[in-house]
């Protein structure tokens, strides 16, 4: 099956900082998605981004499908951005191990 | 539009028992997928149903089964529970005709004692 690798595994940010999360896929996927899991376990779909760039407020994502990777950008981070960020894709929507983000005041 | 509804939210069962979890997808969505999340293994795909047919299956033992009804509601069943089945079980619904991906429910947290 498809392997999904996320980096970094952990990220500690001061409020207001910017950051970039990366997701690599072992094979092409046409349904790449980014999710945020809050401390209560709820998974929120941030982006459906098989290719190209999308923006939603302070978050944006870019997928380079030909090179099998995607980037999630968090700008001007806030404490509410804390949680685990997952990318996922493939026929069985394979998930990466996630990036644990902690934003400190 | 109502979201994905999973019931129950929490469940405690004894080893050897069986359990049934329920998932009601977003109205109009015909695809439902199930995932198991544990601290050690992360998010693992269990199975996907579309229009009452199992379309994909993950690498779980036969104790894990599921089904989907004509109204797209889905259930998953775990028989002969083991301690290692303790996990957060998440279901997601999607509409393959629309490009916005999967919407997840709040999950059922199963504890096996």
Q: Which residues in chain B touch residue A95, judged by CB atoms under 8 angstroms apart?
A: 35, 42-45
Could B43 and A88 be called an inter-chain contact, meaning their C-beta atoms sit closer than 8 Å?
A: yes
A48, B99 Cβ separation under 8 angstroms:
yes
Tens place of pLDDT for every residue, chain B, 113 residues?
Answer: 679 999 999 999 999 999 999 999 999 999 999 999 999 999 999 999 999 999 999 999 999 999 999 999 999 999 999 999 999 999 999 987 777 789 999 999 999 99
* Token pair 């400190």: residue: A104
CB burial class (10 A; 0-12, 13-18, 19+) of residue B55?
middle
A42 vs B88: CB contact, 8 Å cut-off? Answer: no
Among chain B residues, the shortest Cα distance to A38 is held by B106
DSSP state of A29: -
> How confident is the model over A13-40, as pLDDT tens digits?
999 999 999 999 999 998 999 999 998 8
Q: Do residues A99 and A10 lie in contact, with contact meaning Cβ atoms separated by under 8 Å?
A: yes
Parallel, antiparallel or unpaired: strands B108-112 and B10-13: parallel
Interface of A with B in 35-54 (CB under 8 A): 35, 40-45, 47-48, 50
Q: Are A63 and A51 in contact (CB under 8 A)?
A: yes
> From CA B28, how far away is CA B26, in angstroms rounded?
6
């Amino acid at each position: 099956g498809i392997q999904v690798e996320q980096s970094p595994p952990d990220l500690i940010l001061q409020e207001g900082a910017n950051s970039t999360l990366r997701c690599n896929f072992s094979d092409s996927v046409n349904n790449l998605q980014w999710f945020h899991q809050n401390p209560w376990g709820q998974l929120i779909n941030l982006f459906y981004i098989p290719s190209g760039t999308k923006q939603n407020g302070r978050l944006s994502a870019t997928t380079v499908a030909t090179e099998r990777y995607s980037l999630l950008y968090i700008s001007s981070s806030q404490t509410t951005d804390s949680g685990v960020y997952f990318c996922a894709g493939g026929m069985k929507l394979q998930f990466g191990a996630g990036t644990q983000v902690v934003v400190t005041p | 539009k109502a979201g994905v509804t999973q019931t129950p939210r929490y469940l405690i069962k004894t080893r050897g028992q069986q359990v049934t979890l329920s998932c009601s997808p977003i109205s109009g969505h015909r695809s439902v997928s199930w995932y198991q999340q544990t601290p050690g293994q992360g998010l693992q795909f269990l199975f996907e149903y579309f229009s009452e047919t199992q379309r994909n299956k993950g690498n779980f033992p036969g104790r894990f089964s599921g089904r989907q009804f004509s109204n797209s509601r889905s259930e998953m069943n775990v028989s002969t529970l083991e301690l290692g089945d303790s996990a957060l079980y998440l279901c997601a619904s999607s509409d393959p005709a629309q490009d916005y991906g999967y919407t997840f429910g709040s999950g059922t947290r199963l504890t096996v004692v």
